[in-house]
Structure 1
Amino acid sequence: MQTTTGLLAELTSDQRERVRSLGHEVHFDAGEQIFEEGTRADRFWILHTGSATLAMHIPGHRDVAIDHVRHGELLGWSWMFQPYVWSLGAQADSPVRALEFDAQSVRLLCEEDKELGLAMTRSIAAVMGDRLQRSRSRLVDLFGPYAPQDRAAGAI
């Protein structure tokens, strides 16, 4: 996962400060839903403390935990790309303190400063690639051949 330093590492110190100046501190209680899959992605967070679970809704099943986001990591990337809809849901595992950013403000800054926009896009693409791989692995574990439910039922 990308850390705060990793997420903004390609930016100049001036660009980093411009992005950080758009954020404000927020808190989430343990168990609090931060965002729901399929809803409008209009903000994102960099976690300072605590952790959150990313979960996928699978019709006919419980939501499936796909990944965990921890201290220093980016929570949410769907805000950057149309249609700006969350592809997963997120819930606080423990009390979370985070820096929250308004998506439209950051997208506007990225459009105004093309170098900043390219660096942010590259960093977010790295997060997306990592989460895609983790999601794939998690779903294969759950639903692929020799999934836990098959082992429990004595299928192997």
Structure 2
Amino acid sequence: MNTPSMLRALPDEHQQRLMRLAREVAFAQGTRIFDEGARADRFWIIRTGSVELDTAVPGRRRAVIETLGHNELVGVSWLFAPYVWHLGATAVTPVRAYEFDATAVRFLCQDPAFAHSVTRWAGDVLAHRLRTTRTRLLDLYAPQGAGSTV
């Protein structure tokens, strides 16, 4: 299941307000978009291409959590203090995206209806990412049968 799309999550009026802040950007294949622990001051909606979300695992290489594509949100940490990335992201293909300044979007969130729409969308994405992260890490690192109660 893909993460909730802005197109399905936000009413048209709120999509239009958000898109007025959009700036078109491009990332070359292999570009590290952000790292865990860095300041989360922006986010992206993918237009074309693919982005991998990953997490650092001590003593191992980064674990890929999910691959995102068209219309998916890259970055959720910008909305929740302390505004620090909890995952990392890399462009696995050339990527074109809309980039949004987090401070400007949080300013728009002074409108309670807009804030409700955006936080619900981001919360749905966050819940999906948490489930995906848990499943992926169990797939990678749990001993065989670790989830079994038999």
For normalisation by structure 1, the TM-score amounts to: 0.88
1:27-38 to structure 2, matched below 5 A, reads 27-38=26-37
The match for 1:87 is 86
4+ aligned runs moved over 6 Å, structure 1: none
1:52-91 to structure 2, matched below 5 A, reads 52-91=51-90
Q: Partners of 2:105 and 2:30 in 1: how far apart?
A: 28
Return the letter of the residue paired with 1:15.
H
The match for 1:6 is 8
Unmatched 5+ residue regions in structure 1? 148-156
Q: 1:17: Cα distance to partner?
A: 1.4
Contact 1:28–1:96 (CA under 8 A) maintained in structure 2: yes
**SS of 2:109's equivalent?**
helix
The match for 1:154 is none
Q: 1:6: Cα distance to partner?
A: 2.2
Q: Partners of 1:31 and 1:144 in 2: how far apart?
A: 29
**SS of 1:115's equivalent?**
helix
Contact 1:36–1:90 (CA under 8 A) maintained in structure 2: yes
The match for 2:115 is 117
Q: 1:103: Cα distance to partner?
A: 0.2
Larger Rg: 1
Give yes or no for the alignment of 1:134 onto 2:132.
yes
- RMSD over aligned Cα atoms: 1.2
Return the letter of the residue paired with 1:61.
R
Return the letter of the residue paired with 1:109.
L
Q: 1:145: Cα distance to partner?
A: 1.6
Structure with greater helix share of residues: 1
**SS of 1:59's equivalent?**
coil
**SS of 2:83's equivalent?**
coil
Return the letter of the residue paired with 2:28.
D
Return the letter of the residue paired with 1:93.
V
Return the letter of the residue paired with 1:42.
D
For normalisation by structure 2, the TM-score amounts to: 0.92
Return the letter of the residue paired with 2:5.
T
Q: 1:26: Cα distance to partner?
A: 0.1
Contact 1:50–1:96 (CA under 8 A) maintained in structure 2: yes
Residue correspondences, number:
143
Q: Partners of 1:127 and 1:40 in 2: how far apart?
A: 19
Q: Partners of 1:26 and 1:126 in 2: how far apart?
A: 25
Contact 1:50–1:94 (CA under 8 A) maintained in structure 2: yes
